[in-house]
Amino acid sequence: MSRSIGGTGGGVYRPGNGVESPRLIRSVRPNYTAEAMRAKIQGTVELEAVIGPDGKVTDVRVTRSLDKMFGLDEQARKAVFATPFVPCKKAGTPVPVSTIFWPPSRSPVAW
């Protein structure tokens, strides 16, 4: 991620200690590529995302890859970038927050 994680000096915060956890406005499902279907690829992709003070995802990094050949990691990244969140706040002020992305099912992006 391009921004420092921490909580001081205008960096990116982590949930807890007065920083709200991210809340989805709506979930965006990743596309399952035709190549992955033909290869019968299944599994999970885990992503770390930075949610900006406006609730938009500003950065996404794959922390656990499913594949590098069939495009599922990239499709998962695109889905997370398109997912809107309620802005996270600290002491009533919107702040950027970094979190591992977990869809409502509480599991990594899965196919």
Measured distance CA(58)–CA(87) in Å, rounded: 12
User: What is residue 10's predicted lDDT score, i.e. its pLDDT?
Assistant: 63
**16-30, 43-57, 69-83, 95-109: which has the minimum mean pLDDT?**
95-109
User: What is residue 67's predicted lDDT score, i.e. its pLDDT?
Assistant: 82
Confidence of residue 110 (pLDDT cuts 50, 70, 90): low
Measured distance CA(46)–CA(41) in Å, rounded: 15
Please give the structure tokens belonging to residue 40.
Answer: 């019968």
DSSP E strands, 1-111: 23-24, 44-51, 57-64, 85-86, 89-90, 93-94, 97-101, 109-110
Measured distance CA(57)–CA(78) in Å, rounded: 10
Percent of the chain having pLDDT more than 90?
Answer: 51
Per-residue pLDDT of 1-55, as tens digits, reads 444 454 445 699 999 999 999 999 998 988 888 888 888 888 888 899 999 999 9
Measured distance CA(70)–CA(50) in Å, rounded: 25
* pLDDT of 105 higher than 50: no
Q: What is the pTM of this model?
A: 0.80
Measured distance CA(18)–CA(105) in Å, rounded: 25
* pLDDT of 104 higher than 50: no
